[in-house]
């Protein structure tokens, strides 16, 4: 069992409110196996444990490990040929993606996340297929990649039972595309159709398989309102209650999704879920961009979580989450990078900085998130959306030894005024190059930018060699099919919204 001290000129143990930072100057963390045994002054812990090895020094900042609370894939959509588009069209372009080994694909993004201090990822898996053996194998290889690299994962299996495309029913989609494309589209819908009972059986097998693994938790992800019938919503909610598991649902990501909810329910998507009990501390809303004032009030009153996917919302033209309003109401908001960040990578330090900057409203009052609040989003608030809640997100005795060590001198170089505190310095200036070490469950997985658990160079070489092979007939066929579908689908959605496009209640100059 590994025992060591992790030292920092500042040890940030937790955050609260706009500016509440719990920290110890010249402090240390005593790591005993996979857990934190003590957090105290450096001199105190060193005197008690004079012979233990030491990571870090008085020139470093020690932080709780970061949580990427919404993630899907390894190679980014751009890398696989899909430029940013509105979500409903982007989903069509994604059909043309190459076939990628799920193990190597997962490692690719895991390397990037770990390099920026992410120790836990909420991986939302959405790959419906009638071939249940292929489904199980793919999920198993993704989870194994996280285990092998030493990263903590909350794996969410998405569930859906309708609308094999996006908002439109299968029948509406088929009727809206040229006749020549209908047989191929119908065949695709058929291969994606998996009875909900079979999805649940696969999920429960997965849950049992990883019940005792320290680094893996399995949870639920009903896909979205438009992908789930009322029966499916009720079934997944009961499943959550039976297994005492949190769930994560994409919701109100685009204006089109808000309009879908109005047509289907006569009102709000969130109100509809609430009728089935799918609100509360066990629920996380992914995106939530198009919530109304009443929706925000409901989220606050029920203790429902929200996951802010800032880069994704900007890249896919979905809009901007009313973050300041949510924080004002005391809503717990986590942070997710989704497919990729603003620079087409998985740099959580950069994602935090984007959130810090984007929501600075004009005026002299406090209409902006502080560095402390954004760090909280990426630590404790993210942890609260997973089954690892109360085990990660803080540095305290009994918590998992998940942490990162940042070179404070390098962050400050060549000069940084002493008035700038360590949290503000990290949120404003830190980059992956400044990360000295990353630890998960007491195991050092990154040191000086290098992954310690696997040969990352060899894995990336294997990935590159696989994708250097010529496209298969199936890949070329999917690319041609996606290109042929694009314009018909664009036309279908061009008339989907009302004559006056709905605006979020927080938009400048909008009517309340």
Residue bearing tokens 């489904």: 135
Closest CA to 507 of 304, 291, 224: 291
Per-residue pLDDT at 265: 96
- pLDDT for 507 equals 63
Cis before 441? omega within 30: no
pLDDT on residue 110 = 98
**Sign for the pseudo-dihedral over CA of 27, 31, 34, 36:** negative
Which residue's structure tokens are 């690892």? 388
Q: Specify the pLDDT at position 511.
A: 36
- Residue pair 478/437 in contact (Cβ under 8 Å)? The answer is no
> Within 3-48, where are the H helices?
42-48
- What is the Cα–Cα distance from 228 to 197, expressed in whole angstroms? 13
Print burial letters for 364-396: b (CB count within 10 Å at least 16), e (below 16). eeeebbbbbbbbbbbbbbbbbbbbbbebbbbbe
Residue found under tokens 């291969």: 191
Q: What is the pLDDT of residue 510?
A: 47
Buried (b) or exposed (e) across 409-428, using 16+ Cβ within 10 A? ebbbeeeeeeeeebbbbbbe
- Cβ pair 119, 404 in contact under 8 A: yes
C-alpha–C-alpha distance, residues 296 and 251, integer Å: 13
Task: Supply the pLDDT for residue 128.
Answer: 82
Q: What is the mean pLDDT of each run of 10 residues along the chain (512 residues)?
A: 93 96 98 98 98 97 98 97 96 95 98 98 92 95 98 96 92 95 95 94 96 96 96 97 97 96 96 98 98 97 98 96 96 97 98 97 87 98 97 98 97 96 97 98 96 97 97 95 96 79 57 34
Give me the DSSP letters along 204-259. HHHHHHTTT-TTEEEEEEE--GGG--HHHHHHHHHHHHHHT--EEEEES-SHHHHH
């Amino acid at each position: 069992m590994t025992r060591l001290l992790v030292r920092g000129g500042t040890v940030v143990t937790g955050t609260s409110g706009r500016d509440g930072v719990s920290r110890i100057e010249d402090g240390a963390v005593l790591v005993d196996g996979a857990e934190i045994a003590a957090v105290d002054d450096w001199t105190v812990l060193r005197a008690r444990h004079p012979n233990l090895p030491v990571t870090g020094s008085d020139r470093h900042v020690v932080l709780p490990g970061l949580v990427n609370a919404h993630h899907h894939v390894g190679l980014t959509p751009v890398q696989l040929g899909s430029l940013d588009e509105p979500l409903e069209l982007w989903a069509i372009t994604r059909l043309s993606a190459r076939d990628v080994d799920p193990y190597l694909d997962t490692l690719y993004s895991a390397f990037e996340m770990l390099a920026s201090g992410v120790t836990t990822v909420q991986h939302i898996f959405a790959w419906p297929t009638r071939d249940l053996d292929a489904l199980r194998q793919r999920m198993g290889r993704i989870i194994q990649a996280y285990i092998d690299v030493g990263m903590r994962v909350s794996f969410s299996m998405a569930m859906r039972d309708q609308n094999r495309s996006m908002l439109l029913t299968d029948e509406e989609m088929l009727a809206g595309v040229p006749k020549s494309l209908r047989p191929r589209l119908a065949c695709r819908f058929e291969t994606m159709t998996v009875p909900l009972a079979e999805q649940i059986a696969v999920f429960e097998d997965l849950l049992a398989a990883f019940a005792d693994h320290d680094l893996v938790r399995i949870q639920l992800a009903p896909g979205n309102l438009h992908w789930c019938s009322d029966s499916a919503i009720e079934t997944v909610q009961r499943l959550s209650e039976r297994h005492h598991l949190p769930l994560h649902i994409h919701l109100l990501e685009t204006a089109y999704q808000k309009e879908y909810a109005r047509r289907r329910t006569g009102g709000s998507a969130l109100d509809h879920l609430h009728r089935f009990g799918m609100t509360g501390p066990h629920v996380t809303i992914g995106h939530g961009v198009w919530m109304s004032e009443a929706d925000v009030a409901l989220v606050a009153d029920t203790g429902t979580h929200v996951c802010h996917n800032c880069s994704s919302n900007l890249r896919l033209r979905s809009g901007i989450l009313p973050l300041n309003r949510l924080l004002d109401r005391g809503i717990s908001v986590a942070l997710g990078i989704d497919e990729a960040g603003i620079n087409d990578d998985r740099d959580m330090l950069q994602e935090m900085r984007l959130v810090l900057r984007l929501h600075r409203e004009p005026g002299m009052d406090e209409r902006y998130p502080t560095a402390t609040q954004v760090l909280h989003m990426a630590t404790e608030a993210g942890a609260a959306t997973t089954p690892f809640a109360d085990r990660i997100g803080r540095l305290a005795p009994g918590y998992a030894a998940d942490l990162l060590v940042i070179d404070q001198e390098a962050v400050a170089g060549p000069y940084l005024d002493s008035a700038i505190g360590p949290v503000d310095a990290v949120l404003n200036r830190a980059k992956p190059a400044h990360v000295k070490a990353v630890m998960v469950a007491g195991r050092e997985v990154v040191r000086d930018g290098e992954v310690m658990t696997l040969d990352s160079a060899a894995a990336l070489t294997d990935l590159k060699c696989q994708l250097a092979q010529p496209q298969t007939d199936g890949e070329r066929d999917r690319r041609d099919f996606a290109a042929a579908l694009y314009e018909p689908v664009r036309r279908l959605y061009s008339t989907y919204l009302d004559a006056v496009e709905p605006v979020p209640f927080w938009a400048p100059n909008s009517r309340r």
